[in-house]
A and B are shown apart, each in its own frame.
Chain A
Amino acid sequence: DIQLTQSPSFLSASVGDRVTITCRASQGINSYLAWYQQKPGKAPRLLIYAASTLQSGVPSRFSGSGSGTEFTLTISSLQPEDFATYYCQQLYSYPLTFGGGTQVEIK
């Protein structure tokens, strides 16, 4: 199985901050990575697929980059509605594993 390690697992930030979350894969996964946002009591919401393609309707302050084993999700200017937990998922091979999540909280 491909393991995904997200860091940090928790971060505290202020509105307007630039935030970067890292996802590292235990082996190369090309660009077969998606990012999701999850708010309490809600289903995950797709933000980015193919490592860097923004899903329709997702604000442009979100961006993704990387390929192979290292990936990043960046929020250029954190907004109040962005406080949530973020997950990466690899879709390169079965089982389709998720990272452990990064909880973004208000400082």
Chain B
Amino acid sequence: EVQLVESGGGLVQPGGSLRLSCAASGFTFSSYWMHWVRQVPGKGLVWVSRINSDESSTTYADSVKGRFTISRDNAKNTLYLQMNSLRAEDTAVYYCARDLYNSGRTDAFDIWGQGTMVIVSS
């Protein structure tokens, strides 16, 4: 079964850090671009970041640029999001998502994890 499972969310104070993980299974993880997308509960989806298959290319939304770092370990089939200098407005459910194609990038997402909640509050 193709699956993505996020972990690492929780409550953190403003200015703090958190590292999210996304464990992939059931497909050739190393062949796909991967993404992080977040959602304030009950609100719309917001794309956060993407990384290519060999980690040579990363891109971020302006709202997180310079604070968040996306990375991956293809040997462990795991995607990461290091979040530093967290703000209240970063509070959301964070989803990892697989790009639609394994040949090139589309920025459409065909597989999503269940999400992990991040709450930034004092």
Partners in one complex: no
Chain A interface residues (CB < 8 Å from chain B)? none
